[in-house]
Structure 1
Amino acid sequence: MSHLRPKFIYFDLDDTLLDHKKAEKAGLKDVHDHFEDFFKGVSLSELIAKYHEINSGLWMEYGRGEIDRHILHRRRFEETFVALGLDGAMHEEAGKVYMQYYRNHWEWIEGTKEIFDKIASSYPVGIITNGFAETQWLKIDQFGFKEISNALIVSEEIGVMKPHPKIFDHATELVNVEREEILYVGDSLSSDVRGGKNASWKVAWFTQNPIKEGEELADLVFSDFRELEKTLFDS
């Protein structure tokens, strides 16, 4: 019998079920095309690389409570543009255009929807996601998670981000299940694997590039949702 027979399964959202990285790159391409004259001399690959570097650092600051969401929104394009030798004053307009385009590119990670639906038909499921509430709730609505989930948790509404214990404590209380009987499925070593294990949950780590620490911590490491399906349903 599978060693993973939880009574409740939580899923991370971005880059576990939905392809955030792909949508982010496509949104930045649209911004690059939209402001073609502004980006003269700066390639799309340069924009994506610099934006990702700066945005990742800002989210770490935000997660530590060092900056608020408004500063993050301003600085991610402002600092990207300055680093690329462009006019940082364009940050506000670019940020608005990016969010409009980013939303056009949301989609399931290939192969996840059918298996998620199968799991949700046999297990009670929920979502725990870092991010800004209005954006994450738009995703939750658009992809029908409200109808299929027993618990929906967005970090901004809790006041802290994963892996903060407060989120996992709140999630445990919501479903009234023993910690050891909850499985968390996520892609982030820091937010999902460490956060879940520190909460005494079981963890399934979705990754294409496993490292030793994650392999030792996680109860399951998988790169294809069919592996998760097999573990949950095969006796």
Structure 2
Amino acid sequence: MEFERKNSELLAILFDLDNTLIATRKADAKACKKLSQTLTEKYTIPLETSSQICNSYLKAFRECPDNPDMELDTWREYLWSQALGDQYHTFSESIYQEWLNLRYHFLALTPEITVLLQNLRQHYFVGLITNGPSNAQWEKVERLKLKSFFDIILVSGDLPWEKPHHKIFHEACDYLGVEPHHCIMVGDKLETDILGGIKAQLGGTVWTPLNNCKLQETDPKPDFVIEYVTELPSLLPRIKRVPGFRNNIVRGLNRFTVTDMDDCNSNSSDGS
């Protein structure tokens, strides 16, 4: 069933970021696996120990990717220092930089995703809504050069709400000047992306399950399920948006500022 058979008109597509457009969990695992080899070859750390160090770091990083009391780089270097232990902690600064470079190498948008977003934006408003700490998520946006693909980017760490709260979806709709029933949400998490789209009464939700997850009876029910996000065009109405349809947006990409930041266990990244 295509979207056009469920709703009369689709104007906007809202995407999740982590594990939907970028393979965050896989990329982080690949970066740590590659780095463990570097720890052995460059820093002469035994292979078994280097693997344990990288696994320890990744576990701590996923549990708390940001600390509002520290600069982002300082926090991550601290986590590496803890993982490296007393014997190797002096390498923490250089190892952190090597991990960061590897991470963004593996996080980069694939050519297929790049083409998908470019093509969609010729016909629809395209937005990004991601849960997570502000600095950590905006670092991804900047390093991956994502701004050119979206009409709006919302990071929950900048706002009073996170997915699945309906207001974060309505914030995007209001910004784009479209009604919620003319939008769809695409994401990998049932409990945030799909449930949030349902709560916001969007026109549809599209689930891209991570690791072949199956729907359970008590799960929020998406309207559509696709294995890969690149399959999305097969659901969409084949309409040609008139030139200048995006002109009603008078603001540029907006990074919201919220002074009342939660601790690192709240607004946890969609990547974890």
Residue correspondences, number = 227
Which runs of no fewer than 5 residues in structure 2 stay unpaired?
240-272
Q: Which residue of 2 aligns with 1:57?
A: 63
Separation (CA, whole Å) in 1 of partners of 2:219 and 2:236: 18
Separation (CA, whole Å) in 2 of partners of 1:39 and 1:2: 59
Structure 1 residues 193 and 88, CA, compared in 2 at 3 Å: closer, same or farther? farther
Kindly indicate which of the two structures has a greater share of residues assigned to helix: 1
- CA deviation map 1:108-144 (0-9, x unaligned): 2463332232222111111112345455445435555
Q: Which residue of 1 aligns with 2:183?
A: 182
Separation (CA, whole Å) in 1 of partners of 2:173 and 2:101: 35
Identity of aligned residues (%): 22
Q: Is the 8 A contact 1:2 1:232 kept in 2?
A: no
Aligned-partner residue type, residue 149 of structure 1: F
Superposition TM-score, scaled by structure 2 size: 0.65
Q: Is the 8 A contact 2:181 2:201 kept in 1?
A: yes
Q: Which residue of 1 aligns with 2:207?
A: 205
Q: CA deviation at 1:47?
A: 5.1
Aligned-partner residue type, residue 119 of structure 1: L
Q: Is the 8 A contact 1:111 1:225 kept in 2?
A: no
The correspondence of residues 135-174 of structure 1 with structure 2, limited to 5 A, is: 135-141=136-142, 145-158=146-159, 161-174=162-175
Q: CA deviation at 1:218?
A: 0.9
Q: Is the 8 A contact 1:58 1:76 kept in 2?
A: no
Whether 2:17 is the aligned partner of 1:13: answer: yes
SS in 1 for 2:64: helix
SS in 1 for 2:121: helix
Separation (CA, whole Å) in 1 of partners of 2:69 and 2:178: 33
TM-align CA RMSD = 3.6
Separation (CA, whole Å) in 1 of partners of 2:167 and 2:90: 37
- CA deviation map 1:65-118 (0-9, x unaligned): xx6474964675466556xx9767866664444223322333224633322322
Aligned-partner residue type, residue 205 of structure 1: W
Radius of gyration: which is bigger?
2
Q: Is the 8 A contact 1:25 1:48 kept in 2?
A: no
